[in-house]
Structures are given as structure tokens and as C-alpha cells.
Amino acid sequence: MLLGTNAARGHASSVRSLLTFAGALALSVYLALSGGGYDIVVRSEIGFVVWWLVLLGVLVGALPRTTIPGAGWIAAALLAGFLLWTWTGLSWTTSHQRTLDQVCRVSTYLGVLVLGLCAVRADNARALVGGLACGIAAVSLLAVLSKLTPSLFPANAASSFYATARLSYPFDYADGVGEYAALAVPLLLYMASSARNLWVRAGAAGLLQPVLLCLAMTVSRGGILAAALALVAFVALMPDRIPRLVTLALSGLGIAVLMVALLGRPALRDSITAAPPAQRHSMLLILVVVMAAVAVLQFLLQLVMRRGRRPRWLEFSRRGAQATTGVIIAAFAIVAAIAAASGLVGRLFSQFKQWAPSHGASQYSRLLSLAGSHRYQYWQVAWRAFLSSPVHGIGPGTYRYYWQAHTTPAHAEFILNAHSLWFETLAETGIVGWLLIAGFFVLVVAFGALRSLQRTEPERALIAAATAAVVAFIGAASFDWVWQIGVVPMVTMLLVAVVFGAARRRSPSSAASGAHRWRNVAGRTAAVAAALLAIVLIVIPLTSTIEVRASQAAERAGNLRIALADARNAAAVEPGAASPFLQAALVYEQADDIPNAAHEISIAVKHEPDNYTLWLTAARIETELDHPVRALADYQRARLLYPTSTLFGG
């Protein structure tokens, strides 16, 4: 009977692990191939499904599968606090729609975290990490193939956003692709050195090659920084580092071969259009050979290390490892002190403040420059926005308008984000929002580092890998707008759940105390209430966006009556949004009903007074009404809001 029970439990655990792996793989691939989950509809649909899973799981008692640690509750509370503070921003923002979009975004990320905290424990944490790693590896391989076999990707042969030779598929943003690939580096290294099956270890080592090649072909300095930070955290937190360093060295050898091959093919390396077939096909062959060779070598190395005896000089005691770590940290501190005293840090900072890196003979020359690619200027404006309202900020989602009104002619550029989660959060939500989101990530890394140093070998390695990937996200979010690329933070939230849940093994016993049962009931009630609220916060902007897009499609098809009805529906769902009224104004204008068009655009302007495009539309409609004075006033208002725009000769 006992054997049968154990077999049934083992089978159930295997099924759960398989479902977890498949779910993680599907999520990471689907969102990545859907533009990275940047679009509000794609992202919100995931959020809607996730919160329904939480709601139903809690109601039927399937979730949570185990007791959530106190630190996990605190992390969820910090992210929930950030959500509530963002929602509160509706009371002071200049754009109800932009702010509610941010509320919808954070609601989705919180839902992914809550689902992960409720579902992840020791018996499926490995499967979750494996699914995410394989998903990112699959996307990275597809990205590389979009360059090597462009005929299979006709719609993505060249970027639709901006022309670049850098690898930008499937996000249409090279830095985002590189930073997404960087998340997989510590996860695949973990699988290559810690998986129970030698074949899995070999396969993970082979899959790491297209990930590293994808990262290189994006020429993303942010992605390379994120991967470097992840590697530092990985090595620092991992137990028994010697075998992992061997795996790391083998992976380094593989990518070195691939980089030599890539740099020797200038058309493939630097051309925006498709490279000659000979260069593409030979590079593809080299990639396949390197992947196979690395996988075989990793299998043999792991077999030797598993069966052979390690030389005594490669065995380190815990105290010896700590001493070595201390020496390395001291050496870095000395180098940093020398760099600061010699003025090197000041010179590097001056280079970072430059508008853009200089162009060399190859696009890879940008990797040798620390020029910030406009980031210093973005952050300057964000800092001024913070100083203008240090407690609650200028309003979630409104940095774009502050930039347009306050950038200088020398640095004029149309942007949407500050290219830093920390600076943008500080500008839009003030010190309160910044402390909440920064506190969330600090807690995750601190808890992960502490747990990875305390747990036994299998759990420690898993927690260390997940923590290193979170560090990669923090590095990427410091220099780019990955917070807006939905797949990157969603994957990160699942890894956060691994950090908190990898060591948990079983649910509390039925003999739990009355106090525990009371807390359990209270927690379930709170989870149900939070899920219902989050679903509402997601559905409102999602439905409004779908209705506006339906109206635009009907307008393009010439069905103005349907277009107007859809715009009205959008306004009814989200009456504080500007886009439904703008769309209604455009429909009325096309129908030559200019008075009603003027009425609708006036409402849109009231809802989003800092949006210069609304004032330009209002100026055009006033001109059609033969109101030159009002038209001129609207035009001047638009120009005041974005004086450096080329529309005004800026």
C-alpha cells in the first residue's frame, strides 16, 4: 500500500512538473513572439487569465499549494503597495488614461507574482526554471535564424521601427532582445551544471550558444551588462563553483568561436539587408557544429567529474572559499579606488554624458564606448520632474509629456520612457513609489542571496540561479525600458517566486492550529478580494483599447456609424480616457460634422491637457469651423507643450 501511495505521489509530482515546464515555456515564447508583450492588449489578456487562475485556485482550495514565507508576503505587499500608489496617482495625474494603463501593467505583474508564490515549491521549481530557460533559448534561436534564414521571416527582414543592422527580432528593439536573452544565461548555466540528467546538462550547454550569439548580435550594451551582472551573482552565490566554472569556460570557448566567425562576415555583421547566402549559410552551419560540440564536451566533462575524483588542489573548504571571495572583493575595491583617484571615473562619466557613441568601421565598435545614447539627458529631465513634485511625482505614465515640454533643442528627440525604471519611477510616482519598487527588488535579492548561502546543495543552486537572473533584470531595468516589455518583468516575477518558493516542500498539515486556520481563511479572503479588484483594473483599459481599435478599423473601412458607436462604448467603459473622445472627434470630422467634432476634441483635451497632438487636432477642427483665433490659440498651446518638435520648426 505504501509503495503504491509513493508511486502515485511520484506520478502526480511528475505531471505537475511537466505542466509547470510547459506553462513556463509557453508563456515566455508566446509573449516574446507577440512583440515582447509590449502591447496593452496582449499583456492585459495574460493578466486577466493569471488573476482568474488565482481566483479559481483559491476558491476551490488548490492554491496556495504551501505556506508562503513571511518574506514572500512582504515582497507581494511592496508590489501591491506600488500598485495602489500608482492607482492613487489618478488623483493628480494629467492623463487619466496613461496612469490607468500603468495600473493595468502593475496589476498584471502582481498577478504573475502572486500565482507564482501560490504555486511554486521545491517539487516544481526546477521545472519552472527549465521552462523559462528553454523558452528564452528558443526565442533567441529564432532571433538568430531571422538573420541567417531571413526568407523564413519575411515580415521581419528589416526592422519596422528603425533601420538597424542589429538583431531586433522579435521585439523590434535590439536592446530589449539582448536583455531578454541575458535572463537565460544564469538559468542555462544552472541547468548545464546542476540538472540531474547528464543529457539535460549537455543540452543546456548547447542551448546557451544561440543565447550568447543572440546577445552578441543585438550589440546591446545593456544586455551585456545584465549578463555580466548575472554571471557575477551566479559565481558568487553558487556552491561548488569549480565544475560550474568549467562549464562557464566551455561556453566562453563556444561563443568565442562563433564571434570570430561572425566578425569575419562583414555583410552579415553590419548590413541592414540580408547578407549573401554564402555568409548566412556557413554561419548557420558553424552555429550547429558549435552547439553540438559544446553539448558533447559538456556531457563528457560532467561524466568525468561525476565518476572521477577531483584533485586535492581543487577542493576548497567553506572558510577557504570565503577567504578567496574576500581577496577578490578587496582587489576590486583597490582597483576602484585607484580608478577614482586617477580621474578615470570622471573621464568615463564625461564619456557617458555624450549624446551617442561614435561610429567605427563596425557596429561592434559601439561596445568600446560608454556614451550613454541619450540616457544622461533622459535622466536629467526625469530628475527635474522628480524635484518638481518629490512626494508623489508628476503622474504615472506621463514622463513623455514632461520630456517634450522640458528637453532642449540640442537634445530634441521623441521618446516615451526615461530608459530607466528607477529614474522614471522617481519622476512619475515620487519618492514613495520609488521606495516601494526599489524595496521590492532589494528584498528579493537580499533574501535570495541569504537563502542561497544557507540551503543545501540542490536548493542553493536553484535559488542562486533565480537570484542571478533577477539581478540581470535589475541591471537591464537600470539602463532601459524593459519594465514596459511585458515578457521580461513577467519572467522575472516567476523567478522571484522561485527565490521564495524553491525551498518549500509541503502544505501545512490538517492539524494546524486554530490561529493558523484563521490566518489561512483571512489570507484566502484577501486573495479573492485582490483578484477581483485586479481583474477590474485590467479589464477597464483593456476593453477601452479594444473598442477604440475597433472604431479605428471601422473608420478605415468607411463604416462611420459603427466607428462612432465603438468610440462611444470605449468612452462609457473609461470615461476619463482621452483616446475615445479623440476617436469620436475624428469620426465626426470625417463625416463633416465639425461642431460635434469640436465638442468631442474639447473633452479629450480636458482629459489629457499635456498631450500636444490633441491641441493640434483641436486647432485643425477650429480652423474648419472658421475660428482662426481659437485655432491659433490651440496651435500655440501645442507648440508650448512640445517646442522642440520638428512640426514647429524645432
The mean pLDDT value for 497-522 works out to 63
Estimate the share of the chain in helix, then strand, then coil, as percent rounded to the nearest 5: 80, 0, 20
Higher pLDDT, 219 or 508: 219
- On the question of a cis peptide bond just before residue 239, with omega within 30 degrees of 0, the verdict is no
Per-residue pLDDT, 311? 57
The tens digit of pLDDT for each residue in 85-129 reads 999 999 999 999 999 999 999 999 999 999 999 999 888 999 999
The tens digit of pLDDT for each residue in 289-318 reads 999 999 999 999 888 877 766 555 455 555
Q: In whole angstroms, what is the distance from residue 322 CA to residue 29 CA?
A: 39
Per-residue pLDDT, 157? 41
Q: Where in the chain is the domain with CATH 1.25.40.10?
A: 540-648
Per-residue pLDDT, 515? 47
The mean pLDDT value for 541-566 works out to 96
Higher pLDDT, 329 or 239: 239
Per-residue pLDDT, 308? 63
The mean pLDDT value for 157-179 works out to 79
N-terminal to C-terminal alpha carbon distance within the chain:
81
**pLDDT band per the 50, 70, 90 thresholds, residue 458:** confident
The tens digit of pLDDT for each residue in 355-373 reads 666 666 667 777 777 776 7
Per-residue pLDDT, 361? 60
% of the chain beyond a pLDDT of 70: 87
**Residues with Cβ < 8 Å from 392, sequence gap 6 or more?**
85, 88, 89, 92, 429, 430, 432, 433
Three-state secondary structure of 570-614: HHHHCCCCCHHHHHHHHHHHHCCCHHHHHHHHHHHHHHCCCCHHH
Whether 541 shows a pLDDT value over 60: the answer reads yes
Higher pLDDT, 324 or 557: 557
Whether 5 shows a pLDDT value over 90: the answer reads no
Q: Phi-psi category of 239—alpha, beta or left, where left has phi over 0 and alpha has psi -120 to 50? A: beta
CATH architecture of 540-648: Alpha Horseshoe (1.25)
Per-residue pLDDT, 502? 83
The mean pLDDT value for 529-547 works out to 95
Per-residue pLDDT, 510? 42
**pTM here?**
0.92
Higher pLDDT, 257 or 269: 257
Cell numbers given for 89? 496617482
Q: In whole angstroms, what is the distance from residue 471 CA to residue 447 CA?
A: 12
Task: Please report where in the chains the cell 462611444 appears, as a residue.
Answer: 568
The tens digit of pLDDT for each residue in 375-421 reads 889 999 999 999 999 999 999 999 999 999 998 776 778 888 999 99
**pLDDT band per the 50, 70, 90 thresholds, residue 159:** very low
Whether 187 shows a pLDDT value over 80: the answer reads yes
Per the prediction, the chain carries an average pLDDT of 88
The mean pLDDT value for 189-210 works out to 94
% of the chain beyond a pLDDT of 90: 67
Cell numbers given for 206? 548547447
Whether 2 shows a pLDDT value over 60: the answer reads no
Whether 74 shows a pLDDT value over 70: the answer reads yes
Angle between helices 122-148 and 198-217 (to 10 degrees): 40
